[in-house]
């Protein structure tokens, strides 16, 4: 990490063009899928972000060789272990590192992983019970302690019908495990996010050859396993990051700029639908071109109420950024998250900057528009909350200091370089005193209002 705290000041409208990086949430399971083969897997369009670096470290601790060449990663799991290296650090753990559980278990009949890291946006941290219960239905037995989870499947995994609730990560884990399982696995409540479809596309290229069927309308996925036969290697290009694209689209809209988001338009039109629908309702003009998406706000920002949900509904990972966007709308909007408990953690800090809200529950707020935001000292409590505070800093009067900025670096490639194109000035600051968020007046105004 480059710093704990950063100061952002000075900005002009977000205009020009920006290259959208490969999707973090697609790359992590694609990297884990290399465990299903002893051949070489080449991933193109991999973002250079800290979460990917941590996933590389995790895979290497299991014996995987990973070579980095620009935006390309070459992975080969010729000889892998069921347990991570005892020298690997807890600090290298991410939510994505838990995705090695399914493929390791399917290949070696045993797997030991640490509890997942990532953003603490659920009570008690990231839940892993969905993963464990699904794999137990496929024949695994559980051993667990405070730091680690160990699963065994002495007779190998077997196909089954899984009707229980499935998160995105659980769906990915089960799909990968089912590729090497004996028989057919049917997931009836599967997540069907674009990142999962991208994983299935790569698995088919690795030798599943259409043995993974997807019904996106019924949230159903069927996998015919290979009974322990390893898959082949392949070369695969990671899809664009729809969350990064959505963040910068909001950035252009909130600052009154005109921005071209450079990405494959054929893929973009499939993965960006729910976000673009809401942007258009807010008065933002969007148009696909031969090399990406043109975004430009025309007139005032209209208030748009949103409830998040699984794809193809509005993504929870863009809700914090939308909250910031709605502070500048001409009216009030009501926003609700159905996925996580702490998705509104950044509201406290937006209040410090001058925004006003009405709280209905931990998952639902009304945003009062027409806020005159002012630069303040705030904290990025998680990755997407940090991105939302960056957007707020772009329209705030004065300089904004963001503590724990390393969260943002987990998911946004070259964010400083991209923002500098719009005249944003960054300054790394020495670590601040623990628990300090600004002046007493700012603190009490935040609490009282």
Tens-place pLDDT, residues 381-430: 999 999 999 999 999 999 999 999 999 999 999 999 998 888 888 888 88
- Give the pLDDT mean for 153-158: 96
| Predicted pLDDT of residue 440 | 41
Confidence of residue 92 (pLDDT cuts 50, 70, 90): low
Residues of the chain with pLDDT > 70: what percent?
A: 90
pTM of the model: 0.91
Segment among 103-107, 332-336, 431-435 with least mean pLDDT: 431-435
Q: Which CATH architecture has domain 5-20+241-429?
A: Alpha-beta prism (3.65)
At 246 the pLDDT is 98
> Whole-number mean pLDDT of the chain?
91
Q: What is the pLDDT of residue 444?
A: 37
Domain boundaries, the chain: 5-20+241-429, 24-237
Task: Give residue 438's pLDDT.
Answer: 45
Options 119, 179, 234, 446, the catalytic residue: 119
Domain 24-237 is in which class?
alpha beta
Tell me the pLDDT tens digit for each residue of 249-285: 999 999 999 999 999 999 999 999 999 999 999 999 9
Per-residue model confidence as pLDDT tens digits over 279-312: 999 999 999 999 999 999 989 999 999 999 999 9
**Percentage of residues of the chain with pLDDT beyond 90:** 79
Q: Is-catalytic flag, 14?
A: no
Q: Is the pLDDT of residue 112 over 60?
A: yes
Say what the pLDDT of residue 442 is: 43
Is a pLDDT exceeding 50 seen at residue 90? yes
Identical fold for domains 5-20+241-429 and 24-237, yes or no, is yes
Query: The tokens of 410 are what?
Result: 């987990």
* First-to-last C-alpha distance (Å) of the chain: 34
pLDDT confidence tier of residue 178, bands split at 50, 70 and 90: very high
123 vs 233: which has the higher pLDDT: 233
85: pLDDT strictly greater than 90: no
């Amino acid at each position: 990490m480059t710093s704990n705290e950063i100061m952002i000041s000075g900005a002009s409208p977000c205009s020009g063009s920006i290259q959208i990086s490969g999707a973090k949430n697609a790359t992590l399971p694609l990297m884990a899928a290399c465990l299903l083969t002893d051949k070489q897997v080449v991933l193109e369009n991999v973002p250079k972000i800290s979460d990917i670096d941590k996933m590389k470290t995790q895979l290497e601790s299991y014996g995987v060789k990973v070579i980095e060449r620009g935006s390309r990663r070459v992975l080969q799991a010729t000889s892998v272990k069921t347990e991570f290296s005892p020298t690997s650090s807890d600090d290298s753990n991410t939510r994505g590192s838990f995705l090695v559980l399914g493929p390791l278990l399917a290949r070696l009949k045993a797997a030991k992983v640490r509890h997942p890291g990532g953003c603490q946006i659920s009570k008690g941290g990231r839940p892993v019970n969905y993963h464990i219960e699904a794999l137990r239905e496929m024949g695994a037995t559980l051993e667990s302690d405070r730091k680690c989870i160990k699963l065994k499947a002495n007779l190998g995994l077997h196909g089954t019908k899984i009707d229980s609730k499935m998160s995105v990560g659980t769906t990915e884990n089960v799909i990968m495990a089912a590729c090497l399982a004996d028989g057919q696995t049917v997931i009836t409540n599967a997540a069907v996010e674009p990142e999962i479809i991208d994983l299935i596309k790569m698995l088919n290229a690795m030798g599943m050859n259409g043995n993974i069927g997807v019904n996106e309308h019924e949230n159903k996925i069927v996998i015919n396993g290979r009974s322990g036969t390893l898959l082949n290697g392949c070369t695969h290009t990671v899809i664009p990051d729809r969350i990064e694209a959505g963040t910068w689209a909001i950035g252009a809209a909130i600052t009154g700029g005109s921005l071209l988001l450079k990405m494959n338009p054929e893929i973009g039109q499939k993965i960006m639908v729910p976000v673009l629908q809401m942007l258009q309702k807010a008065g933002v003009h969007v148009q696909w071109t031969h090399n990406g998406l043109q975004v430009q706000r025309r007139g005032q920002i209209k208030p748009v109420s949103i409830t998040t949900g699984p794809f193809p509904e509005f993504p929870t990972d863009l809700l914090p950024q939308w909250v910031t966007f709605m502070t500048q709308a001409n009216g009030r909007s009501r926003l609700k998250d159905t996925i996580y408990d702490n998705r509104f953690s950044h509201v406290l800090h937006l209040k410090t900057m001058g925004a006003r809200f009405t709280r209905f529950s931990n998952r639902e707020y009304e945003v009062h528009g027409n806020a005159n935001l002012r630069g303040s000292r705030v904290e990025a409590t998680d990755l997407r909350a940090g991105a939302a505070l960056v957007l707020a800093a772009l329209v705030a009067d004065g300089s904004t200091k963001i503590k724990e900025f390393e969260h943002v670096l987990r998911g946004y490639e070259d964010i400083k370089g991209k923002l500098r194109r719009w005249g944003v000035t960054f300054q790394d600051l020495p670590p601040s005193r623990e628990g300090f968020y600004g002046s007493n007046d700012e603190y009490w105004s935040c609490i009282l209002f």
